[in-house]
Amino acid sequence: MSKLQVDDIVNKDDTGSAGFSKGVVVTGVATATTFDGNATTATTATTATTATTATNAQGISGTPDIAVRNITGVAATFTGVLTYEDVTNIDSVGIVTARTGIKVLAGGINIVGGGATVAGIATFHDGADIEGFKVEDGQTAATPNGEFNFYLASGHFFRYTGTPGADYYPNFKHSASINLNDRMDVNDVVTATLAVNSPAVTYHIANTIHIDGNATGENSYTIDTDWVGGTAPAAGNGSGHDIYSFTIIKTADKTFTILANALGAA
């Protein structure tokens, strides 16, 4: 086997690089300033400064800047800051920390477990937050007449401004599409207040309060309503307003105790 020792190889006219029509086999280290052409496979690259096309890249190290369209892999580790935009979903098994706040544009926030801990003041735009004290939005209607929906998600205060047309009673729900039983855990407590215009003693609240559209005994619901004083009102106030307060306690699935009190009604 012969050995060729030269300082440079050029074409025969000494005007450009030499051509190797049968290819080149290099058993040692190949060093080049740049690569031009289609690199279909790069098995080892200690420093990649420019990669025009690479379908399979392994062992990339050094400090190159790499721009790609999509990355698919099993895991990724970043020692610095990861900045990204337009992320559809984030699934984290650890703690997610946002240094300058979180803005939710749609869909809301659903906390499945663990609850929410707020170190500062929490502001909810369904009502007003005055130095940490929440003022709920109220519900108002004209005339009570039989059963009516008391949606607690719309506020814990309900006022009827018109003259009652019959005995009335609330159906407590979270909202039109969500049951209160699905939003309350066992031993959770929620309060509500009902104010009814009472120009006459004729009509008053009926002792048949519903929850999620059910009276006690319906669809496995058990509702125990205990009135302060031992009995439900039998007449309205006859002037001003009848005020009713309710403390709703969930003691088991579809099982509630309601502590009810009447002011003004007899």
Of the listed ranges 78-87, 225-234, 242-251, the least confidently predicted one is 78-87
Residue 50 pLDDT level (bands cut at 50, 70, 90): very low
Residue 187 pLDDT level (bands cut at 50, 70, 90): very high
Specify the amino acid at residue 16. G
Q: Which residue has the higher pLDDT, 123 or 78?
A: 78
Q: With a cut of 80, say whether residue 264 has pLDDT above it.
A: no
Q: Which residue has the higher pLDDT, 132 or 71?
A: 71
Pairwise CA distance, residues 81 & 27, whole Å: 41
CA distances from 85 to 70, 79, 82, 89, 90 (A): 13, 19, 10, 11, 12
Q: Determine the average pLDDT of the residues in 169-180.
A: 95
Residue-by-residue DSSP string for 212-256: TTB-TTSTT-EEEEEETTSS---S--SSSEEEEEEEEEEEETTEE
Q: Which residue has the higher pLDDT, 52 or 255?
A: 255
Q: Determine the average pLDDT of the residues in 57-65.
A: 71
Of the listed ranges 13-22, 75-84, 171-180, the least confidently predicted one is 75-84
Pairwise CA distance, residues 74 & 230, whole Å: 66
Specify the amino acid at residue 13. D
Please tell me the predicted confidence (pLDDT) of residue 8: 79
Maximum mean pLDDT: which of 47-56, 133-142, 150-159: 150-159
Mean pLDDT of the chain: 80
Residue written as token pair 């439900």: 232
Q: Are 265 and 237 in contact (CB under 8 A)?
A: yes
Residue 63: burial class (beta carbons within 10 Å; 0-12, 13-18, 19+): exposed
Please tell me the predicted confidence (pLDDT) of residue 225: 96
Q: With a cut of 50, say whether residue 48 has pLDDT above it.
A: no
Chain segment 129-141, per-residue pLDDT in tens: 555 555 556 788 8
Q: Determine the average pLDDT of the residues in 143-150.
A: 90
Residue 58 pLDDT level (bands cut at 50, 70, 90): low
Q: With a cut of 50, say whether residue 147 has pLDDT above it.
A: yes
Please tell me the predicted confidence (pLDDT) of residue 67: 77
